[in-house]
Amino acid sequence: MSPRDWDRIRSQVYENAGRHCEICGGRGPRHPVECHEVWEYDEAASVQRLVRMIALCPACHEVKHIGLAGVRGRADLARQHLAKVNGWSPEVTDRYVQEAFAMWRLRSGRSWSLDISRLAAYGIDPALITEASSASAKDRSRSVASTTAQKARRGQGRLL
């Protein structure tokens, strides 16, 4: 989707949440909240379905991407936040994270159909995204370059 559409969706999600985290109620110091996609998985049909977008404080968002937190050297902070929000002991937190990684490995080994029809609730036509994602990266780049050049010729955009 376009950066403009993503910004519009994020703003809507932030506003609907009162610019507070939908999990812990907190806010981050630099970015009060960030937008995160919530997915459900139909294991039998191999369908990954977008359920909705939620506003998360940076700490809760980091927990949702705890593998990335580990790469960034922040896994301990993410685990501490997870334990605090849920009232868990370090042992329960470790077991939960191990199970989450096991599920991630299992799901990553499969091919999934993607259901993004929920984007319609945010004013996005999912068919356009599906159509765009089926084009090659080279074709998408040409299309974006062509559209940008057309807008620039009409004075509707800036070339950087």
By the 8 A CB rule, do 91 and 75 touch? no
By the 8 A CB rule, do 74 and 62 touch? yes
Residues 78 and 96 in one domain: yes
Residues 58 and 99 in one domain: yes
- Mean pLDDT (whole number) for 56-63: 97
Buried b (16+ CB within 10 A) or exposed e, 90-99: eeebeebbee
Residues 106 and 138 in one domain: no
Full domain range(s) for residue 7: 3-124
Number of other residues whose CB lies within 10 A of the CB of residue 111: 5
Residues 112 and 44 in one domain: yes
Could you tell me the pTM of the whole model? 0.78
Residues 74 and 100 in one domain: yes
- Mean pLDDT (whole number) for 66-75: 96
Residues 68 and 87 in one domain: yes
- Rounded CA-CA distance 33/26 in Å is 8
Give the total number of structural domains in the chain: 2
Residues 96 and 61 in one domain: yes
pLDDT confidence band for 156 (50 / 70 / 90): very low
The neighbouring-strand residues paired with 113 are: 47
Average per-residue pLDDT in the chain?
Answer: 86
Residues 136 and 155 in one domain: yes
The percentage of residues in the chain with a pLDDT greater than 70, rounded to a whole number, is: 81
Residues 62 and 115 in one domain: yes
By the 8 A CB rule, do 78 and 63 touch? yes
Number of other residues whose CB lies within 10 A of the CB of residue 126: 16
Residues 119 and 142 in one domain: no
